[in-house]
Amino acid sequence: MFDVNVKILSELKNFITVVSSNRELLGKFCSSDKDFSRSRKLPFDKLAFFIIKLCKKTLSVELERYFEELNNSMPCSASAFTQQRCKLHFSFFYWWNAVLYRSYYFYSSNQVKRWNEYRLIAADGSNINVINSAALSKHFGG
């Protein structure tokens, strides 16, 4: 499973590298044609990798730590991050997720566990709102 994880991470990293090096493709994931065209402290690839790290502390602390990991003594401000983040179109995450699940099923196809030949997807319903319909109320109780 470790080898599969490494291959999947490599695919995800490669996707970001390909997008950041191809101006036309990058334009598909930007709000404007001019976004990510100038050299900044937080270009597209660094922005994407930072977002994926999922901050656990305050944004300014995480940005400082991230730039230390990159051996860059001058981190960007939380405001600069927010401005760069606004330039990134949500469709990037849709396609990046597509790379993730396609890679997963490609590299671990014979290791994927199924229930009655179905992929079973479960979620904790404590925070999920469902449509208030008669059929759902009858089936699940209301």
19 inside domain: yes
Residue-wise pLDDT for 78-110, tens only, equals 998 999 889 889 999 999 999 998 998 899 877
48 inside domain: yes
65 inside domain: yes
47 inside domain: yes
Number of domains in the chain: 1
H/E segment holding residue 51? helix 44-52
CA nearest 50: which of 37, 36, 62?
A: 62
Distance of CA 121 to the CA centre of its chain: 19
Going through the chain in order, the beta strands assigned E by DSSP cover none
pTM attached to this predicted model: 0.69
25 inside domain: yes
133 inside domain: no
Residue-wise pLDDT for 25-45, tens only, equals 888 888 887 788 777 788 888
Q: Can you tell me the distance from the alpha carbon of 115 to that of 97, in angstroms, rounded to the nearest whole number?
A: 23
134 inside domain: no
90 inside domain: yes
Q: What range does the domain containing 67 cover? A: 1-107
Distance of CA 51 to the CA centre of its chain: 7
